[in-house]
């Protein structure tokens, strides 16, 4: 296993939609293991495959002492609202206030091809939505509005 290098803005891979995993082979197994090791660090809640240079629909997470992964996740349900500060490993040091759903559920598969459901509220819900956005080629700053969006755009220009 290895700690992976995290791509940062303005790397164009972060704006590229990831492809479904068609076949779970050794390279996918190794990627998941390496992503789990990389996300298993204090202050890291989630990590998508395109953040480490791979255009596959996979994300790993480390929320509330729960370490896991999901392959081919699809956001299937969300409800409620929460306000909070959000950051991103691909935008180091930048945090902005963003409203997200307070509950989210994603469905996908595991390394054995079995159905997996990842769901939760609070930080877990925020992470699920954030990582699904990454896999579709979007950054959390794309969802900002008004003054927060202007602050983010100015900060990103200075990266």
Residues taking part in catalysis? 131
- Rounded Cα gap, residues 157 and 110, in angstroms: 38
- Rounded Cα gap, residues 152 and 26, in angstroms: 39
- Rounded Cα gap, residues 40 and 43, in angstroms: 9
What are residue 90's phi and psi, to 5 degrees? -85, -5
For residue 38, give every residue at least 6 positions away whose Cβ sits within 8 Å of its Cβ, in sequence order, or none: 3, 4, 6, 44, 47, 52, 60
For residue 158, give every residue at least 6 positions away whose Cβ sits within 8 Å of its Cβ, in sequence order, or none: none
The residue with tokens 């891979």 is: 13
User: Residue 46 in contact with residue 73, Cβ under 8 Å?
Assistant: no
User: Residue 127 in contact with residue 45, Cβ under 8 Å?
Assistant: yes
């Amino acid at each position: 296993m290895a700690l992976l290098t995290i791509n940062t803005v303005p790397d164009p891979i972060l704006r590229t939609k990831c492809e479904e995993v068609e076949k779970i082979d050794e390279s996918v197994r190794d990627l998941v293991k390496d992503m789990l090791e990389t996300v298993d660090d204090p202050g890291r809640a989630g990590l998508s495959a395109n953040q480490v240079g791979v255009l596959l629909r996979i994300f790993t997470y480390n929320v509330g002492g729960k370490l896991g992964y999901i392959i081919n996740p699809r956001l299937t349900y969300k409800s409620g609202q929460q306000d909070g500060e959000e950051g991103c490993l691909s935008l180091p040091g930048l945090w902005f206030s963003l409203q997200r759903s307070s509950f989210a559920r994603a469905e996908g598969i595991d390394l054995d091809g079995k159905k997996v459901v990842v769901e939760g509220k609070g930080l877990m819900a925020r992470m699920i939505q954030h990582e699904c956005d990454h896999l579709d080629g979007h950054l959390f700053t794309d969802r900002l509005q008004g003054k927060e969006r202007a602050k983010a755009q100015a900060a990103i220009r200075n990266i």
